[in-house]
A and B are shown apart, each in its own frame.
Chain A
């Protein structure tokens, strides 16, 4: 059994994200550029966003800890940059990310709320003030396409700037499930719950648009399984997965891209409230008894 340090775990996750970023550059960069709907320099927008995030993390680390650390915050930074909409404004992302990132570092000391989802939702809200609230790139806004199953599997869905490839997400998942550090039960439960509900919805309304949601697959593999913000006991993981699956489906009826991030954030907040309400008296009781 391979023993890994935190640094190794983070780097391993980053390596697994590389194909998704490259696909993001192809789908939201090259394809749009080839139809003259994007400037050449913006082909690499997914990379720029990641670089901005990493530079901000680097500066914050140097100021606060006096050295750059390869820790889970680096992974969160890259994940946040990957799930941004393609029309995100650089300035909004830079300032918003800096402010929310520093705030989340303080928040971590008091509550354990999924940082990726929290910063994502806040950034989307801020971005929607300055930009149109959409996840489609210029090409998808201008033309309508008829994709088959394999196109969608490869990642032609409307979604985050580098998170839309179901194929590469599943490849990463098939590697991660062999790691003892990875909570593989969570993505399974989330996707099964979500798919069950989506199938029921399909049979009732004949609407199949919710069936192949790339964001649900990507986030369930990388975001919902972040160790610090997810439960460790199997029964709790199942409950966590089911609740995320159900809330994701409900929000998907309004917006399928942000649904899983909102659902994870809601569940994360509920868990924190429950922990504060239920756990503390229990521990106090034990102490009194002992």
Chain B
């Protein structure tokens, strides 16, 4: 087994582990794909679009180019009228078998969960992971700490759906609040095995987590607590997913926090309402500093359910030096890529899992992940 890595904690970043709510945004954005609305058309809450539901009700004010899940798309700008007028609900019944469950996942646009299930030929074991991968993220922790009752109830429900005997719920041993809350009620769920993991990087990857827990990845379905919370809200409660939780952190902002907000809100609106900067020179990373991508036009970013965190990192601490040929990147790479060779000849590697450990360990602060994944070429092409 590849050695798991303990990441250094960043003393400049302290994330307040309480949930901030921002559920009444002024505007939201939804991508225009297979939908035909005009300016001043009225859109009700829960109206289905191709990749999401409208999270507020209001009038379409204009069309605008935005960054939706890392892609530039044209979106409707909807002005919130704060009435939360929803489309009428159909009578809802909780599914009792896997096929019905899968069709509802599609209906509620939980395609990432559906894909995970469809990839498995047989599911013998279910692992629910509440592991946040990076120092800048606390999304899974806060979900388990605040919604532990809902998570455990959903786990019990999934036992019947997947017809399995046991579910393993895992979290890091440093998450005191979530451990305390889960332990207070875990006794009433005998089929759920609660395990604590060391605070090591890579355990957020299904492959390494299964290896650590000695389970066969081919027959094991690994879901995040955020997935379980979405299943609870949609399939058990019959609500559309219109809200999401994400961490906003980094050393370029005065206060790091976890926010519960509507899907479709622009990052600019969150910045205007919540964020004060320490410095004018910073980079923005979506979905983590190690794993995520650097985004240039950060004001165009739209918050979606696939965004776990947004990191504002000051550029003064990121100045690159020349490679000193220490070889630490080669030693740390979990998939044994010759990173130095990629750097010298600007080669891409298809083996790269994008963990960002090469960036993390490099003493010269060279953005090796971008080279190995070919992101630098794409930037040049753009």
Question: Interface residues, chain A, CB within 8 Å of chain B?
Answer: 1-6, 8-9, 71-72, 180-181, 183, 227-230, 232-233, 283
Which of A1, A6, A283 is close to B363, meaning CB atoms less than 8 Å apart? A6
Cβ A1 vs Cβ B5 within 8 A: yes
A204 smallest CB distance to B (angstroms): 38
Residues of B1-27 contacting chain A, CB below 8 A: 5-8
B232 smallest CB distance to A (angstroms): 37
Complex contacts, B363 vs chain A, CB 8 Å:
3-6, 8-9, 181
Q: Which B residue sits closest to A6, measured CB to CB?
A: B363
Q: Which B residue sits closest to A227, measured CB to CB?
A: B326
Which of B321, B328, B365 is close to A180, meaning CB atoms less than 8 Å apart? B328
Measured CA separation A2–B332 after assembly (Å): 12
Complex contacts, A72 vs chain B, CB 8 Å:
324
Which of A8, A180, A183, A232 is close to B361, meaning CB atoms less than 8 Å apart? A180
A22 smallest CB distance to B (angstroms): 27
A-B contacts besides A5-B363, A232-B326, 12 pairs, CB < 8 Å: A1-B7, A3-B8, A3-B363, A4-B363, A6-B324, A6-B363, A9-B326, A227-B327, A232-B330, A233-B327, A233-B330, A283-B345
Measured CA separation A230–B361 after assembly (Å): 19
Complex contacts, A9 vs chain B, CB 8 Å:
326, 363
Contact residue range for chain B?
20 to 34
Cβ A232 vs Cβ B8 within 8 A: no
Complex contacts, A181 vs chain B, CB 8 Å:
326, 328, 363
Highest count of chain A CB atoms <10 Å: which of B324, B331, B340 = B324
- With A5-B365, A6-B324 known to touch, is A180 a contact of B7 (CB < 8 Å)? no
A90 smallest CB distance to B (angstroms): 31
B289 smallest CB distance to A (angstroms): 12
Measured CA separation A284–B365 after assembly (Å): 29
Residue B360 is within 8 A (CB to CB) of chain A in the complex: yes
Measured CA separation A283–B347 after assembly (Å): 12
Residues of B310-354 contacting chain A, CB below 8 A: 321, 324-328, 330-332, 340, 345
Main secondary structure on A side of the interface with B: loop
- With A1-B6, A4-B363, A6-B364 known to touch, is A183 a contact of B324 (CB < 8 Å)? no
B260 smallest CB distance to A (angstroms): 32
Question: Interface residues, chain B, CB within 8 Å of chain A?
Answer: 5-8, 321, 324-328, 330-332, 340, 345, 360-361, 363-365
Which of A8, A180, A230, A232 is close to B340, meaning CB atoms less than 8 Å apart? A232
B380 smallest CB distance to A (angstroms): 18
Cβ B327 vs Cβ A232 within 8 A: yes
**Top-4 shortest CB links A-B:** A232-B327, A227-B326, A181-B326, A227-B324
Q: Which B residue sits closest to A1, measured CB to CB?
A: B5
Q: Which A residue sits closest to B7, measured CB to CB?
A: A1
B58 smallest CB distance to A (angstroms): 47
B265 smallest CB distance to A (angstroms): 34
Complex contacts, B365 vs chain A, CB 8 Å:
5
Complex contacts, A6 vs chain B, CB 8 Å:
321, 324, 363-364
Q: Which A residue sits closest to B201, measured CB to CB?
A: A1
Q: Which A residue sits closest to B317, measured CB to CB?
A: A5
Cβ A232 vs Cβ B325 within 8 A: yes
Q: Which A residue sits closest to B5, measured CB to CB?
A: A1
Highest count of chain B CB atoms <10 Å: which of A6, A8, A9 = A6
Complex contacts, B331 vs chain A, CB 8 Å:
180
Cβ B5 vs Cβ A228 within 8 A: no
27 A-B residue pairs with Cβ-Cβ distance under 8 Å, sorted by A, are A1-B7, A1-B8, A1-B361, A2-B8, A3-B8, A3-B363, A5-B363, A5-B365, A6-B324, A6-B363, A9-B363, A71-B321, A180-B328, A180-B332, A181-B326, A181-B328, A227-B324, A227-B325, A227-B326, A227-B327, A229-B325, A232-B325, A232-B326, A232-B330, A233-B327, A233-B330, A283-B345
Cβ A228 vs Cβ B8 within 8 A: no
Complex contacts, B332 vs chain A, CB 8 Å:
1, 180
B170 smallest CB distance to A (angstroms): 22
Which of B324, B326, B340, B361 is close to A3, meaning CB atoms less than 8 Å apart? B361
Measured CA separation A243–B365 after assembly (Å): 33
Measured CA separation A4–B362 after assembly (Å): 8
Complex contacts, B7 vs chain A, CB 8 Å:
1
Measured CA separation A57–B330 after assembly (Å): 31
